[in-house]
Structure 1
Amino acid sequence: MRNISLALIAIVLVLGGAGVWLNGPLPLDIEATRLLQQGIDARAAWIEWLSETAGWPLIVVSTLVAGLFAASLARLPGALAVIIGVGIAMASERLLRLAIFVPRPSPELVEVAKASASSGLPSTFAIFYGAACGGLILLTHRTRGREAMAVRIAAWALLIIGCAGRVAAGAHWTSQVLASAALGGLAAILAARLMKMR
């Protein structure tokens, strides 16, 4: 767990710090977005729908659903760990938005499905799903059984597909999504330790 935490901290500091320093896309961000947009329609309905699950008020429902899966795997402590992890992640997201501003992708560089004047870093979607899916992945880590495996695979798939969708939609650069998801994962680890789950 220590190595995973250190890797996530490195991702947050390197990618997030570089994004703030350069105040724009990192090397390969533009290329990664264009590559994804070749295979994923930037205006695909599923991207917008999935994005809404990390926004108000659906974020409450999404958190409760993740909590129910966690409760099925590890009872009340597991559910609380996931919910607390999401709370820590979203509090971090609010604080970071007060402290920094990093531009989102611009239509001059890549296709942008929906323009927004808010900061691209952190990504609300990625930090939320990093915490919620990260919490479920932690609970199923080294756990056998069909339910644990199904939850672990679904959590990874949802996190990866959702983050790829946000990049393909031109909502965030890849570096912004990776740094945000890593920060969400750190929140999940902290919550699991607080609840003595790991």
Structure 2
Amino acid sequence: MQQQKRRIILASIFLAIGIAGGAASVVSQGPLPADIAITRFLQSTLGSEPSWAGPITQSAKPPTVWLLLVGGLGLVWIRTGWRGPVAVLTAFLSIKLVDFILRASVHTPKPIADLVAVASPSESSGFPSTFGLVYGAVFGCIVFARSSDDWKSTAALVTSIGMILIGAISRIVLGGHWTSQMVASLCLAFAIVLVVYFGLEHKRETSSLLTAED
């Protein structure tokens, strides 16, 4: 029960950050404070188009996103058993719906070449970030899974955190999204993941109580 309460509290925090960040991006119709500085710092440190960033950013798009999904299913199975894959698939479908609804409702500009280096200029909305939603859903399910403390589980956790960080940096350094847009999108995905886990665990506990009463 305490674990479920913590999940809901944490989901509420992530949801609030995601909504606040997204709303600020929509209202400003441009970069938020520190967005330009962070992108320029990353580009000066890593280069404006590091060779590894392109393939990573493509991994959230078909057809490679299906390979990413399979990899996420494997990692979450290692970490938490059968509930993990169910959570990944549910969260993935949920973020696809959220992405569709938000993109039909709001539009925020992506970084422009007048401010930072942009590898592939695009007129599509910077918020939500489809990449951030996908990575947040797939790898967030691994990060927030309830698991044992064996080395395999720890390796899956570290790998997933690393993928989220490297993925976010890739999109930012290529000028695909502002940091605020990426953070807001990741937070929305994390909130969805936590709600999905809450639902699965609540269902399991309810079933256990009904079985015990019988």
Q: Which whole-Å CA distance do the structure 2 matches of 1:185 and 1:159 have between them?
A: 11
| Aligned residue among 116, 123, 129 for 1:117 | 123
Instruction: Please tell me the residue identity of whatever aligns with 2:103.
Output: R
Q: Which whole-Å CA distance do the structure 2 matches of 1:41 and 1:3 have between them?
A: 39
- Alignment partner, residue 163 of structure 1: 168
SS state of the match for residue 14, structure 1? Answer: helix
Instruction: Please tell me the residue identity of whatever aligns with 1:33.
Output: T
How many Å apart are 1:196 and its aligned residue? 1.7
Q: Which whole-Å CA distance do the structure 2 matches of 1:40 and 1:175 have between them?
A: 19
- Alignment partner, residue 68 of structure 2: 62
Whether the aligned pair in 2 keeps the contact of 1:112 and 1:169 (CA below 8 Å) is yes
Whether the aligned pair in 1 keeps the contact of 2:12 and 2:191 (CA below 8 Å) is no
Q: 1:92 aligned to 2:118?
A: no
Q: 1:82 aligned to 2:88?
A: yes
SS state of the match for residue 25, structure 1? Answer: coil
Matches within 5 A, 1:144-155: 144-155=149-160
Q: 1:195 aligned to 2:200?
A: yes
Structure possessing the higher radius of gyration over alpha carbons: 2
How many Å apart are 1:3 and its aligned residue? 3.2
Instruction: Please tell me the residue identity of whatever aligns with 2:59.
Output: T
State the number of aligned residues: 197
Q: Which whole-Å CA distance do the structure 1 matches of 2:61 and 2:100 have between them?
A: 13
- Alignment partner, residue 17 of structure 1: 23
Q: Which whole-Å CA distance do the structure 2 matches of 1:172 and 1:91 have between them?
A: 20
- Alignment partner, residue 2 of structure 1: 8
Instruction: Please tell me the residue identity of whatever aligns with 2:161.
Output: W
Q: 1:182 aligned to 2:187?
A: yes
Q: Which whole-Å CA distance do the structure 2 matches of 1:187 and 1:138 have between them?
A: 11
How many Å apart are 1:166 and its aligned residue? 0.7
How many Å apart are 1:64 and its aligned residue? 1.7
The share of aligned pairs that are identical, in percent, is: 28
Structure 1: 4+ residue segments shifted above 6 A = none
Instruction: Please tell me the residue identity of whatever aligns with 1:171.
Output: G
- Alignment partner, residue 26 of structure 1: 32
SS state of the match for residue 17, structure 2? Answer: helix
How many Å apart are 1:140 and its aligned residue? 4.9
Where does structure 1 lack aligned partners over 5 or more consecutive residues?
Answer: none
| Aligned residue among 79, 82, 86 for 1:73 | 79
Q: Which whole-Å CA distance do the structure 2 matches of 1:33 and 1:140 have between them?
A: 34
Where does structure 2 lack aligned partners over 5 or more consecutive residues?
Answer: 1-6, 205-214
Q: Which whole-Å CA distance do the structure 2 matches of 1:74 and 1:151 have between them?
A: 10
Instruction: Please tell me the residue identity of whatever aligns with 1:192.
Output: Y
Whether the aligned pair in 1 keeps the contact of 2:15 and 2:188 (CA below 8 Å) is yes
Instruction: Please tell me the residue identity of whatever aligns with 1:103.
Output: P
SS state of the match for residue 196, structure 1? Answer: helix
Instruction: Please tell me the residue identity of whatever aligns with 1:83.
Output: L
Whether the aligned pair in 1 keeps the contact of 2:15 and 2:191 (CA below 8 Å) is yes
Q: 1:131 aligned to 2:123?
A: no
SS state of the match for residue 126, structure 2? Answer: coil
Instruction: Please tell me the residue identity of whatever aligns with 1:88.
Output: S
Q: Which whole-Å CA distance do the structure 2 matches of 1:28 and 1:45 have between them?
A: 25
